[in-house]
Amino acid sequence: MGDWTEKYRPKSLDDIVGNERAIIELRRWANSWRSGPPKKRAVILSGKPGTGKTSCAHALANDFNWTAIELNTSDARNAAKIKSVATFGAINETFTDSGAYMSHKDGGRKLIILDEADNLYERIKGSSSGLTDLSDRGGKKAIIDTIRFTNQPIILIVNDYYGLIKGSGDVLREMCQLIRFYDPYPSMVIALLKKICLKEGINVDLKVLQTIANRCKGDIRSAVVDLQTVCLDRKQVDSKSLNVLGYRDREKDIFSALREVFKTRNVKSIRDSLSHLDADPKQVILWINENLPKEYIDFNDLANGYDALSKSDIFLGRTGRTQNYSLWSYACDIMNGGVALAKTHTYPNDKYNFPNWLREKKQMRGNLEVRELILYKLSSFTHISNKKCNYTVFNHFVNMFRNNTDFAVTMKQRLDLSETEIGYILGKSHKHKLNEILNPKEVITQEIEVEEKKEEIVEEKKENLQQSLFDF
């Protein structure tokens, strides 16, 4: 059966699921290399695991016929190794697969890919030189030096952008272009899973695909793994097959952590529990803030709990301003231990809610991404800047799109608008026109059929009338 994550890894940027704006930015950066090294000689692809960052890097190399040189955490990535592989590769010219020399002036380039670059560590002062090959010591400085004089494009892939730029990595802010990757919409994941099922000749219940897409929380890789698991040695898959999966609920840990904070006063136990929690303290504080008034009914307990949260928020703010992440430990202890010790009663509540602020932000971010992508396409079409397009053209375009179906169908083709983008332009008030714009031929055919049916009814009534007159 093979590994489906590798078998169906995108070969081209056109095959990537979601993150359309990121792909446009990445392709634009790659095109800027056609006339020599651009101002930003490296890009940082930042986002959650499984959102397609590494796949995008390799797909870009395929699309531009570049030779990919990758260093990941399984390789030695200390200063010496990076200089011998990445730095020399970035300076020197490249060769084709057949061994022929190809100058960068003729389009021959190498793409240097450093995966999990946020796991490069600083060299500790006074440390001995007898470090193991896998220590990554000095690797960050070597990467910075490489980017400064590279003749070849470089991609740094990170899950934690701030983990990369902290310390000596701060200079990478100015040297590199940041491209962020976000969770794809569940509908996009479902479309990918359907395509895989079709190619594998397996009939899978739509509810199974929907469940897998919702459980993966934007992690495309885990969705494909789950699909392969339920399809193993089957040609027909129904909802009962989901029992073979261990439920991958990434919010389960946060609910357990909340129970520790709200139900106990054992600070050591709480610290141990939250040390294994894969969540940013800035998100944990939102969870506690959302559920604190639902848990602490006593006003004094509630006031003391919020007092602890406010002090923790001060430390989190200082962390952001100073990039001193050692302050996180103080923030976490005050946030979790402080809230736990604030209560003087035990409370019966055991239901916790997802933070409204995060839910609204996610929805707003999704809408903002769609709007920015439409603006980019529209500004490119009209040959004006995004800013000018936003203030002078966009509202008129939306108004015409909503009120002139022929115009909407034409612009859908010319701008290559997706269903999501068309839905955003139409809004709730004109959503009923979506199918008419997406499938104009089908709508016209239906209208013709209706007209033909009307004509048939009229002709039939005429014949009946004539027959009645004749009988009379």
201-227: pLDDT as tens digits:
888 888 888 888 888 878 888 888 888
Q: How would residue 440 be classed by pLDDT, with cut points 50, 70 and 90?
A: confident
Tokens of 392: 């002078």
Per-residue pLDDT, 165: 79
Q: pLDDT of 19-52, one tens digit each?
A: 888 899 999 999 988 888 888 889 999 888 888 8
Which stretch of 233-242, 327-336, 411-420 has the lowest confidence by average pLDDT?
Answer: 233-242
Q: Which fold has domain 186-244?
A: Helicase, Ruva Protein; domain 3 (1.10.8)
Per-residue pLDDT, 227: 86
Average pLDDT over the chain reads 78
For residues 114-142, average pLDDT: 54
Q: 374 or 450: whose pLDDT is higher?
A: 374
CB-based contacts of 330-336 (< 8 A; 24+ apart in sequence): 331/281, 331/285, 332/271, 332/274, 332/281, 332/284, 333/267, 333/271, 334/308, 335/281, 335/284, 335/285, 335/288, 335/308, 335/309, 336/257, 336/260, 336/261, 336/267, 336/270, 336/271, 336/274, 336/284, 336/288
The residue type of 251 is E
For residues 268-277, average pLDDT: 71
CA end-to-end distance (rounded Å), the chain:
78
Q: How would residue 400 be classed by pLDDT, with cut points 50, 70 and 90?
A: very high
Report the helix count and the strand count for the chain, using DSSP H and E.
24, 9
Strands 67-71, 110-114: pairing kind: parallel
**Domain 4-180 grouped into CATH 3.40.50.300:** yes
Tell me the pTM.
0.51
Q: Where are the domains of the chain?
A: 4-180, 186-244, 252-342, 356-438
Measured CA to CA in angstroms, residue 226 lies from 8, 182, 217, 319 at distances of 14, 20, 13, 38
Intrachain domains 4-180 and 186-244 with the same fold: no
**Does 132 score more than 50 pLDDT?**
no
Q: Which of these, 190, 118, 204, lies nearest to 161 by C-alpha position?
A: 118
For residue 450, what is the enclosing H or E element?
Answer: helix 440-471
Q: How would residue 74 be classed by pLDDT, with cut points 50, 70 and 90?
A: very low
Q: How would residue 136 be classed by pLDDT, with cut points 50, 70 and 90?
A: very low
Q: 457 or 313: whose pLDDT is higher?
A: 313
Residue 44: what are its φ and ψ, rounded to 5°? -110, 120
